Structure 1
Amino acid sequence: MKRLFYSTDSLDDAEMISDEVHQLGIDDHHFYVLSRDESGIKTHHLHGSTQIEKTQILSARKRAFLLAGATALALLTFMYFFTDLTNKFLLQALAASIIGGFVVMFIVKLAGKSFDEYFQLLVNEHLDAGDVIIIIDVERSQTHKVETQLEGHPKAQFLADSSNLASPIPD
């Protein structure tokens, strides 16, 4: 799935956008709003929060751990099935896999942390200016349809897109 981020001026606009994307088949579990106006979120019957920090929407660090584990497992699997190293040097093969996993985790975690921090600053900047952030998770096959619909919406401003791997929209 792909995660799309948009901003708009008001919760009224967010509610209109919500109605439009619901007509395209996006349900409430894939549509989320961030706004400093907590009571407004409830009165507009939107699914959302006042702070991005209260959610797990930004998760580049989680993806780093997943990638590191997968790297260590792939390295160990490769050594076990395609070389004789594991028969002769089992402890060294395990150590190499673990070290490889940690190196990948460190590099990706640094990149992920800086992405998460940058994006959190961007979102908070918009929220502090009174904007409403709209987050929509879409299947790859729906992406073009949703993007086209929102390009035609005068109040929807595209911010970014990302993966939603390991970062579900909160209930």
Structure 2
Amino acid sequence: MKRLFYSTDSLDDAEKISDEVHELGIDDHHFYVLSRDENGIKTHHLHGSTQIEKTQILSARKRAMLLAGGAALLLFSVLFFFTEAVDKFLLQAIGASIVVGFIVMVVVRLAGKSFDEYFQILVDEHLDAGDVIIIIDVAKSQTHIVETQLENHPKAQFLADSSNLASPIPD
């Protein structure tokens, strides 16, 4: 799935965008709004929060752990199935897999943390200016349809897109 981030001027606009996107088949569990107006979120019947920090939508740590575990498992699998190293050097193979996993985790975590911090600053700037942030998770098959719909919406401003790997929209 792909995560799309848009901003708009008001919760009224966000509600209109929500209705349009719902007509395209996106349900409430894949549509999220950030706004400093907590009462407005409720009165407009939108799924959302006042702070991105409360959402865990940006999660460099989770992505890093998944990729590190995958890298360690991949290395160990290659050693196990394609070499005789595991037969002779089991502890060394496990150790090498753990070290590679740790290195991958550190690198991905630093890169992801940098993106998360940058994006959190961007979101906070928009929220502090009174804007509303719209976050939509879409399947690959729906991406073009949703992007086209929002490109044609006069009040929707594209901010960014990313993967939603390991960071679901909160319930």
**TM-score tier (shorter):** over 0.9
- Residue 133 (structure 1) aligns with: 133
- Residue 70 (structure 2) aligns with: 70
Q: How far has the Cα of 1:161 moved from its partner?
A: 0.4
SS in 2 for 1:155: coil
Q: How far has the Cα of 1:56 moved from its partner?
A: 1.2
Single out whichever of 57-66 and 96-105 deviates more from structure 2.
57-66
Matches within 5 A, 1:82-93: 82-93=82-93
Q: How far has the Cα of 1:59 moved from its partner?
A: 1.5
SS in 2 for 1:66: helix
Runs of 4 or more, structure 1, over 6 Å off, are: none
Q: How far has the Cα of 1:149 moved from its partner?
A: 0.5
- Residue 162 (structure 1) aligns with: 162
Q: Where in structure 1 are there 5+ consecutive unaligned residues?
A: none
Distance 2:82 2:13 in 1: 57
Aligned length: 171
Distance 1:35 1:161 in 2: 19
The amino acid across from 1:118 in the alignment is Y
Q: How far has the Cα of 1:165 moved from its partner?
A: 1.0
What CA deviation, in whole Å up to 9, does each residue of 1:104-160 have, x standing for no partner?
A: 111111001101101111101100010000000111000000010000100000000
Q: How far has the Cα of 1:62 moved from its partner?
A: 0.8
SS in 1 for 2:137: strand
Q: How far has the Cα of 1:60 moved from its partner?
A: 2.4
Q: Percent identity?
A: 82
- Residue 114 (structure 2) aligns with: 114
SS in 2 for 1:103: helix
SS in 2 for 1:162: strand
Distance 1:56 1:93 in 2: 35
The amino acid across from 1:51 in the alignment is Q
SS in 2 for 1:153: coil
1:124 equivalenced with 2:150 (yes/no) = no
What CA deviation, in whole Å up to 9, does each residue of 1:61-96 have, x standing for no partner?
A: 211110000000110111011111111111111110
What CA deviation, in whole Å up to 9, does each residue of 1:18-59 have, x standing for no partner?
A: 010011011111100000000000000000000000011101
1:143 equivalenced with 2:143 (yes/no) = yes
